[in-house]
Amino acid sequence: MPHLWVRAEQRAHERRTGLIPDGAARLIAAGFAVTVEDSRQRAVPIAEYAAAGCAIAPEGSWPAAPADAFIFGLKELPDDGTALMHRHILFGHAFKGQAAGQVLLRRFRDGGGALYDLEYLVDETGRRIAAFGYWAGYAGAAVALMAWAAQRQNRPCPPLSGADSSTHLLADLQTRLLATGTHRPTALIIGALGRVGTGAADLCTAMGVPVTRWDMAETAHGGPFPQVLAHDLFLNCILARPGTPVFVPKDAGTRPRRLSVIGDIACDPDSDFSPIRVNDRITTWDAPARRVHDTPPLDVTAIDNLPSLLPLESSGDFAGQLLPALLKLGTPDAGVWGRAAATFRDHMARLT
């Protein structure tokens, strides 16, 4: 049976995990070896993993893990250029032409390891089996509204901090909005029928924000989409891929518009297929909104670990979706894992 090694996340503010203690206990009962690294920032205490029967390792010790272990994390590996010999499970962001992704793939080539990208774990129909989508949408809409409230007060959007629960997040956001008065912005959500769009719409509804919900039917003609500029907020909930229409053209800032905040929740700003052409970089927890046009102001939020604003709720949801696949990790060349391995091999064959 496999050895699953859960590494500590090295990115600041990343408190999520893809395996919670109940799931670890189920894996151990099924015969797995499970090692969990200690972590200074993981939302789930390490003592709960120890109580579930996991072996505990020092933070960042995964490079010395047994060669046959699967190294499991969520976000990027340390950017130290070292060759990667293990089989890694993570969000690699390496299959859409991203420059950093190409560097990552070369590290796997140099070390002989493999990447099972969490974004490309799909069932027989091509549908993802596990995603943080709902909580990404929920948190992404909240951050866009925070940026809008700060803009209304002529100040920068303040740094973000994780919330203990969605109830706490809503209370904080309500306070920020009330400080601007009674007016509420209008929002257009593209991808509203998916998990990300559903989360974004639920947050907007909770805050009294009128929402226009678009999905494939409304965007099938390929654009242009003047309705985007006619709303205060635009929330992009569609992953960038070949054929994705451009929703916000490069010159949108200079056009007549009501639009003042773009929440790029899907967040692939450096992808060749990004539908948000006024921005080409992520924003951060310390500086959540980037001003891309001054008069009138147009701000973009593009944070690529949004669900970490709600680490406990998002981790529990994602881990529950992923666990059935983890239980099948003993056959990594078949089913969902086999499909992910084939995707990795295909992109490795194209690597220059």
List of residues 6+ apart from 138 with CB closer than 8 A = 166, 199, 200, 202, 203, 310
Roughly what angle, to the nearest 10 degrees, separates helices 133-152 and 311-326? 160
Q: Which residue has the tokens 């992910």?
A: 340
Q: Is 93 a catalytic residue?
A: yes
Q: Is 221 a catalytic residue?
A: no
- Give the number of other Cβ atoms within 10 Å of residue 261's Cβ: 27
Q: What's the rounded Cα separation, in Å, for the pair 286 and 346?
A: 37
152 three-state secondary structure: helix
37: left (phi over 0), alpha (psi -120 to 50) or beta: beta
Q: Which of 13, 93, 96, 293 is catalytic?
A: 93
Which among 205, 194, 212 has a CA at the least distance from the CA of 145?
205
Determine the straight-line distance between the first and last CA of the chain, rounded to whole angstroms. Answer: 35
**What are the C-alpha distances in Å from 250 to residues 59, 66, 277?**
43, 48, 5
Question: Catalytic residue numbers?
Answer: 75, 93
